Amino acid sequence: MATVTLKSFTGLRQSSTEQTNFVSHVPSSLSLPQRRSSLRVTAARSTPKLSNRKLRVAVIGGGPAGGAAAETLAQGGIETVLIERKMDNCKPCGGAIPLCMVGEFNLPLDIIDRRVTKMKMISPSNIAVDIGRTLKEHEYIGMVRREVLDAYLRERAEKSGATVINGLFLKMDHPENWDSPYTLHYTEYDGKTGSTGTKKTMEVDAVIGADGANSRVAKSIDAGDYDYAIAFQERIRIPDDKMTYYEDLAEMYVGDDVSPDFYGWVFPKCDHVAVGTGTVTHKGDIKKFQLATRNRAKDKILGGKIIRVEAHPIPEHPRPRRLSKRVALVGDAAGYVTKCSGEGIYFAAKSGRMCAEAIVEGSQNGKKMIDEGDLRKYLEKWDKTYLPTYRVLDVLQKVFYRSNPAREAFVEMCADEYVQKMTFDSYLYKRVAPGSPLEDIKLAVNTIGSLVRANALRREIEKLNV
Amino acid sequence: MSISMALFSPPISSSLQNPNLIPKISSSLLFSTKRFSLVSVTRASSDNGTTSPVSATVSEVPKPTSVAVKEAPVKSPAESSSASENGAVAAAETDSTTTTVIKFENTKWVNGTWDLKQFEKDGKTDWDSVIVSEAKRRKWLEDNPETTTNDEPVLFDTSIIPWWAWMKRYHLPEAELLNGRAAMIGFFMAYFVDSLTGVGLVDQMGNFFCKTLLFVSVAGVLFIRKNEDLDKLKDLFDETTLYDKQWQAAWKEPDSTTGSSKK
């Protein structure tokens, strides 16, 4: 048993060259090569111990996902390397983190620039609804600067024992055998500005791809593509008296003028506001949507100066393949951004941590080699924990972002206290709370009523058009 | 409508040079002057700068006269003409950077909501006209998106209009239509089945196949009301299952879904 590696590989993908190295436990009726659609994953208890070294894992990308993954790996006793291409990267991002993230990741409170406790939803006909009355004293949405948060998580990873390298991942060579290492090719920057860096290679046993929406790791494992939204944002410094209005308030604008399938926002940041919008289907018109968003908020940001313009892609759904052999994707690289709200920071950090935990467990704290089965455990756990959340948000987006009447109904529904409580509970604590059935029925009736009324008004509008 | 268009065009071009024309036009009752001053204001502002004091005065002018203009028969030509104007206005608005604020104004729209007392007819609120006014306001805003201000927040909630007003206006006519269709289909199906099989109406109701046919025809009448509904229903069904499929793709074999971006 020590020399011959016996593994049950029922249903896992394997290249034909690996067949010669081991005997699989599958029944004889299913002889190689196996292509099964149903997966029965069993842990590979029989992988050999690594005799003289710890498991080496590389984390590509040093954002929230990479930082959280590297920290958990290092704490679990694994030799970790974190490769990040730009240490002071000021990511274009909404920057909102839920309350549970502060607790779960032990974030110091000074990382949070602002605590948003009020939100205003504004419908296409400018009906404004305030939400946040149901929040308790200690509850808030934290607004952070990405460069501060990312740097903090990376520092913590380094303190736990990970090696942080400033470099750009180029490509990786896949291993020939099931236990050969991956060879990573990367360019290391030595800190001098303007230098092109030196090409280097590194051998690792497993890779976590946390390099964001345009992930190179994803490309190298043929993970497939996803639909993505373009989010366009302008940072505007507004006069102090106008800034007090946004002290702890964020705004969401919905409407066909602002975005056909998303929303426009005004989020307060440390000393300025971020005004932006996004879209999936009409990416070419994003500038028009941005103008419309600024127009809708015009009175409140009058006299502001644009200090920065930024745009970034937001994945809309996971990639078809989120892992391949000993490479796993986490965060934006995997496509873990929710619909409807477009939230990604918490899910990136959580998926990084979950993947790292799966590696730590599968390798028994770095003593054994891991295989695809261990990484599949992370996928299973992730899907089981968060798929309901993703599904609910997808339904919300489909129902309420369809058209202007639907958005009007959406804003009307947000005025309801029960809705506010449920929304904030599920956002702040990331659990789809059951709530009381009677209130749910009332909510369903009210939702249908709002939708019917809004659609009736749209029919009236169409009659006026004639 | 063509008459109104013809009457519109000379004032537009001349307003660029001659602001004195505007007061004359505003007194004419054929057009909703609020719409009209808007057109001249936009043209003026796209001229950049010189006419901004004029536009400030112009926006004051329509308010006292707008009450007189709000007669229902006069409104329909005004609405249809303003519909085309709104399109032009919206286009002009987005490319000029120094537009003056053009807001939705209506005497019945008070403090961000409709003043129901002004909608009374014979001592009771005329909900139909509230609905129509709100529809006009939304249409106006769709064509000319406005900024939101904290000084004049919009507070109107459609749920103040009672449910029976909505039913009377929208549900009942459509229900009548659908019931009529169902009755005709039902009668002819019953006759047809009877002539083919000899089974009378009462005996048909005892037969499983006939009951299924009845169910299918009722569902068809309910869900397929226009020709486009057939495709819409199919798309809806695909949509509901798409997200799940995208998540399950990680658990399927690689050759089936590579880079599928069907949205």
pLDDT at B99: 52
pLDDT in tens, B89-122: 444 444 445 556 677 788 888 888 888 888 888 8
Q: Does A154 touch chain B (CB under 8 A)?
A: no
Q: Does A379 touch chain B (CB under 8 A)?
A: yes
Q: Which residues pair with A188 in a beta bridge?
A: A167, A198
What is the DSSP track for A128-139? EEEE-TT--TT-
Q: What share of chain B is helix, strand, coil (3-state, %, to 5)?
A: 65, 5, 30
> pLDDT band at residue A38, thresholds of 50, 70 and 90?
low
Nearest CB to B250 within list A225, A379, A394: A379
Instruction: Give A225's contacts in chain B (Cβ within 8 Å).
Output: 259, 261
- Percent of residues, chain B, with pLDDT higher than 90: 8
Which of chain A's residues have a Cβ under 8 Å away from the Cβ of B252?
37, 320
Pairwise CB contact (< 8 Å): A257 & B142? yes
Q: Name which of A39-48, A139-148, A435-444 the model is least confident about.
A: A39-48
Structural contact between residues A416 and A442, judged by C-beta atoms closer than 8 angstroms: no
Contact A228, A311 (CB under 8 A): no
pLDDT of A20: 40
Tokens coding A246: 């946004």
A352 close to A322: Cβ distance less than 8 angstroms = no
Asked whether the beta carbons of residue B247 and residue A383 sit closer than 8 angstroms, the reply is yes
Q: Nearest-CA distance from A182 to chain B in Å?
A: 21
Nearest to A465 among B83, B244, B252 (CB): B83
Band of residue A194 on the pLDDT scale cut at 50, 70, 90? low
Whether the CB of B241 is below 8 Å from some CB of chain A: the reply is: no
Other beta carbons within 10 Å of A32: 12
- Three-class SS of residue A315? strand
Output the pLDDT for position B122.
Answer: 83
B157 in reach of chain A (CB within 8 A): yes
A211, A319 Cβ separation under 8 angstroms: no
Q: Which residues contact A171 (CB under 8 A, 6 or more apart)?
A: A184, A185, A216, A220
Give pLDDT, residue A341: 87
A247 touches chain B (CB under 8 A): no
The DSSP element (H or E) to which B253 belongs, if any, is none
Sequence-separated contacts (24+) of A184-189 with Cβ below 8 Å: A184/A58, A184/A60, A184/A83, A186/A83, A189/A85
User: How far is the C-alpha of B235 from the C-alpha of B219, rounded, in Å?
Assistant: 18
Work out the percent of chain A whose per-residue pLDDT is above 90. Answer: 39
- What average pLDDT does the segment A187-205 reach? 81
Residue B32 has what pLDDT? 41
> Closest approach of chain B CAs to the CA of A103, in angstroms?
28
pLDDT score of B92: 41
Q: How far apart are CA A403 and CA A462, in angstroms?
A: 14
In this structure, which amino acid lies at residue A79? E
pLDDT at B197 over 70: yes
- Please report, as a single letter, which amino acid is at residue A196: T
User: Please, which pLDDT band fits residue A402 given cuts at 50, 70 and 90?
Assistant: confident
For residues A187 and A52, what is the distance between their CA atoms, to the nearest angstrom?
Answer: 28
Task: Determine the average pLDDT of the residues in A291-308.
Answer: 90
Q: B193: which 2 tokens?
A: 């089945």
Considering chain A, what is the average pLDDT of its residues?
85
Each residue of B126-162: pLDDT tens digit?
Answer: 888 888 888 888 888 888 888 887 777 888 888 888 8
In B64-83, the residues whose Cβ lies within 8 Å of chain A are: 79, 83
- Using the beta-carbon criterion (under 8 Å), do A318 and B249 form an inter-chain contact? yes
Best residue in B228, B246, B262 to probe A by mutation, most A CBs within 10 Å? B246
| Residue A357 C-alpha from the chain's centroid | 18
What pLDDT, on the 0 to 100 scale, is given for residue B80? Answer: 41
- The owner of tokens 């071009």 is B13
Closest CA to B79 of B159, B123, B15, B135: B135
CB contact A257 to B (< 8 Å): yes
Label the pairing between strands A6-7 and A23-24: parallel
Band (pLDDT 50/70/90 cuts) for residue B123 is confident
3-class DSSP state for residue A11?
coil
Q: Identify all chain A residues contacting B132, using CB atoms and an 8 Å cutoff.
A: 460
The Cα angle at residue B151 between residues B148 and B157, in degrees rounded to 5: 65
Kindly determine whether residue B146 and residue A320, on different chains, have CB atoms separated by under 8 Å. no
Report yes or no: A424 and A98 within 8 Å, Cβ to Cβ. Answer: no
Distance of CA A344 to the CA centre of its chain: 3
Q: How far is CA A119 from CA A45, A131, A389, B190, in A?
A: 50, 5, 21, 58
Residue whose C-alpha is closest to residue A393's, from A292, A263, A209, A251? A263
A297 chain-B contacts, CB cut-off 8 A: 147-148
Instruction: Judge whether residue B31 has pLDDT over 80.
Output: no
Residue A27 CB burial class (10 angstroms; 0-12, 13-18, ≥19): exposed
Using the Cβ of B251 and the Cβ atoms of chain A, whether some distance falls under 8 Å is answered with yes
Sign of torsion, CA B3 B5 B10 B12? positive
> Closest-CA residue in chain B for A128?
B154
Quick one: which of A457, A250, A456 has its CA closest to B142? A457
Q: Write b or e for each residue in A413-441: b if 16 or more Cβ atoms lie within 10 A of its Cβ, otherwise e.
A: bbbbebbbbbbbbbbbebeeeeeeeeeee
Q: Is B139 on the interface with A (CB under 8 A)?
A: yes
pLDDT of residue A40 exceeding 60, the answer is no
Task: Judge whether A126 is closer than 8 Å to chain B, CB to CB.
Answer: yes
**What pLDDT, in 10s, does the model give residues A153-162?**
999 999 999 9
pLDDT, tens digit, 9 for 90 and up, residues A221-269: 988 888 899 999 999 999 988 899 898 899 999 999 999 999 999 999 8
Asked whether the beta carbons of B83 and A465 are under 8 A apart, the reply is: yes
pLDDT band at A345 (very low <50, low <70, confident <90, very high): very high
Q: Supply the ipTM of this predicted assembly.
A: 0.70
Subunit contact A35:B253, Cβ cutoff 8 A: yes
> Residues 164 to 183 of A: which have CB under 8 A from any B CB?
none
Place of tokens 């005065």: B57
Give, for B57, the enclosing helix (H) or strand (E). helix B52-60
Given this model, what pLDDT does residue A42 score?
Answer: 53
Given an 8 Å threshold on Cβ–Cβ distance, is A453 in contact with B150? no
**Looking at residues B240-245, what average pLDDT do you find?**
84
Average pLDDT, integer, range A367-389: 89
A61-111 pLDDT tens trace: 999 999 999 999 999 999 999 999 888 888 888 889 999 999 999 999 999
Phi first, then psi, for residue A28 (nearest 5°) are -65, -20
Separation in Å, CA of B232 to nearest CA in chain A: 13
Structure confidence at residue B44 (pLDDT) = 38
Alpha helices in A133-254 (DSSP H): 146-160, 216-220, 240-245
User: CA quadruple B152, B154, B156, B157: dihedral positive or negative?
Assistant: negative
Indicate if the pLDDT at residue B13 is higher than 70. Answer: no
